[in-house]
Amino acid sequence: MVLFLFNINSLQVFAQRNPSEISVFGGGGLSFFCYQVPLDKVSSIGYHFDIGAGFTGFVSQMCGFHVGAGLGMFNAKSNMRELQNLLPGKTDSNGFPFDLHTSLLDYSETHKTMFLTVPLMFQFQTKQNQMRGGGKSFYAMTGVKLLILFNTRCDVRINTLFNAAYYPEFDNWAATQTFAGLGEFEGKKSKEEFGVKLLPMFTLETGIKWYLKEGLLLYTGVYFDCGLNDYTKTNRKSASEYNFTEPSLSLLAFYKKSNIMDVGIKLRLAFYKSHKKNLRKQLPCHYTY
């Protein structure tokens, strides 16, 4: 019986030494698309931000787990100065085989979306360094963020699309028959809308944890996120699906994959309940049998 009471009291002391935190957070920064394309003449940049709340439970003074929920948005634009694609083995209306060479000049995609985010992260922190007026410690977090994308749309624009057909049988080029989809096409625009998408992201965060006063903390940190899948994949058409007589500007699949990457700054205000007074009272001096 004495051993049982001692164990219960020890668990209470352990929980009180490692109080859980309830927090609100906000952050934002730059967003990029990382493409796998035939050419490297691609640039992308945009912005994102999110706000939310979370809970951190500690299993020791230095380790804990963080979960939360938030709402955010991002707006990112990709500019592809030049893209080239080859479709071999096509056949014209007369049955002659040819290879279709396509060049895109100044192709751009602007992605806009809202998202719900659920972070699931492991947190490590150093011991508190006492300072005048409080203290601080360094922290690092890693894990995944689950983003539920909604109200997602993409504006597609192209200045010039040029098609040329090469006939290996005749060793000849055809590039002026616009009625057959060959030649130069200019000034095309279109809009794409997406359904609800799930985007898991690997995340890293690090910074300083400030002990403002008893029961109040401030996290200041930087983070890096990387998307683990291509949420646009099912909305992209392969080049073989295009009607080049009336060129479609649906999201082009001239590359294998695209990933979103984010970098930014995050602020997290955390609250916890101090048990110092209660802890002193509950520490046992002796047991009576």
Same domain, 95 and 204: yes
Query: What residues have CB less than 8 Å from 39, skipping those under 6 apart?
Result: 80, 82, 83, 84
> Are the C-beta atoms of 261 and 34 separated by less than 8 Å?
yes
CA 190 to chain centre: 25
Higher pLDDT, 115 or 160: 115
The radius of gyration computed from the CA coordinates of the chain, to the nearest angstrom, equals 28
Domain total of the chain: 2
Same domain, 154 and 237: yes
Same domain, 137 and 6: no
Average pLDDT over residues 14-19: 59
CA torsion 158→257→195→227, rounded to 10°?
Answer: -120
pLDDT category, 274, cuts 50, 70, 90?
low
Domain extent at residue 2: 1-19+274-289
What is the value of pTM for the model shown?
A: 0.77
Average pLDDT over residues 200-223: 95
Same domain, 45 and 90: yes
CA distances from 227 to 37, 121, 131, 173, 222 (A): 17, 15, 39, 42, 17
Position 203 scores a pLDDT of 97
Same domain, 112 and 75: yes
The Cα angle at residue 107 between residues 250 and 38, in degrees rounded to 5: 95
Position 199 scores a pLDDT of 94
Position 253 scores a pLDDT of 64
Same domain, 12 and 110: no
Same domain, 37 and 169: yes
The pLDDT of residue 247 is above 60? no
Same domain, 6 and 45: no
The pLDDT of residue 110 is above 80? yes
